[in-house]
């Protein structure tokens, strides 16, 4: 049995990751979703990593740390602080030393994030949920809006713009899960990140919110990692 430590990305929350947890448990594993202090405008990526380490206290047996989206920058800081047996990047940023998340995702993605969010005036940005919901097919808009309200929250923007404080990607086994229909992080960019990790990506036909949209397929892919430990 492995313990999966699930780490959300920018604007996200544990609620977005939750659909995968009972599926992993049904497959014989344990899973916890970490609540990052992303709504604190003063919180740094080091603070995010410290929160993950604190959530891992007392875990025994194999540990797989899973990062979604911008969470890739957080999980890459964790193995230097506590034992980690495997890292999984789920349609996630692979950081580079002294480059920010915004730099690594590229100008187009950064501009998209800015265009669908607004400045809260306190160091955070929040998604324009009504605007995002309007992009869904008419028959899906109310359900999508409810999903956004339940799972998305303000994001301290300094953490997105600060240089990544790590020296290198940790030398631990890693997996990259690529979402082929992602409309946030381009699949071509995800392939580049997987290549940087030196792995062939596992592909899932999903949009960016894969934990909620394709939880069974994602849980199966994660459980395969757990069985290999």
Looking at residue 138, what is its pLDDT?
87
**Secondary structure (3-state) at 147:** helix
- Residue 93 to residues 8, 100, 102, 130, 168: CA-CA distances in angstroms? 12, 10, 10, 26, 14
| pLDDT digit string, tens, across residues 195-213 | 999 999 999 999 999 999 9
Dihedral angle, C-alpha 130, 131, 137, 140, nearest 10 °: -20
Looking at residue 149, what is its pLDDT?
95
Looking at residue 209, what is its pLDDT?
92
Query: What are the residues whose beta carbons fall under 8 Å from the beta carbon of 172, sequence distance 6 or more?
Result: 79, 84, 85, 86, 87
28: number of Cβ within 10 Å: 11
- Beta-bridged to residue 5, according to DSSP, are 32, 65
Looking at residue 39, what is its pLDDT?
96
Q: Which residue ranges of the chain lie beneath pLDDT 50?
A: none
Looking at residue 44, what is its pLDDT?
98
Half-sphere exposure of 181 (CA within 13 A, CB side): 8
| pLDDT digit string, tens, across residues 154-180 | 999 999 999 999 999 999 999 999 999
Which domains does the chain possess? 3-227 (3.40.50.1820)
Q: CA–CA separation, 86 vs 84, rounded Å?
A: 6
Mean pLDDT of the chain: 96
């Amino acid at each position: 049995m492995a313990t999966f430590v699930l780490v959300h990305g920018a604007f996200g929350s544990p609620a977005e990751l939750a659909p995968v947890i009972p599926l992993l448990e049904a497959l014989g594993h344990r899973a916890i979703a970490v609540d990052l202090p992303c709504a604190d405008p003063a919180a740094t990526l080091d603070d995010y990593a410290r929160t993950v380490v604190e959530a891992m206290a007392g875990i025994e047996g194999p540990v797989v740390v899973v990062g979604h989206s911008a969470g890739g920058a957080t999980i890459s800081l964790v193995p230097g602080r506590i034992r980690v047996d495997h890292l999984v990047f789920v349609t996630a940023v692979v950081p580079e030393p002294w480059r920010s998340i915004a730099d690594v995702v590229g100008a187009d993605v950064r501009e998209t994030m800015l265009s669908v969010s607004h400045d809260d005036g306190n160091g955070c940005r929040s998604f324009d949920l009504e605007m995002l919901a309007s992009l869904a097919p008419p028959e899906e808009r109310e359900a999508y809006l409810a999903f956004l309200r339940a799972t998305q929250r303000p994001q301290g923007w300094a953490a997105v713009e600060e240089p990544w404080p790590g020296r290198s990607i940790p030398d631990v086994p890693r997996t990259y899960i690529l979402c082929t229909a992602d409309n946030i992080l381009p699949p071509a960019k995800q392939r580049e990140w997987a290549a940087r990790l030196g792995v062939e990506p596992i592909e899932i036909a999903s949009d960016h919110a894969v934990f909620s949209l394709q939880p069974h397929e994602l849980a199966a892919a994660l459980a395969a990692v757990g069985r290999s430990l």
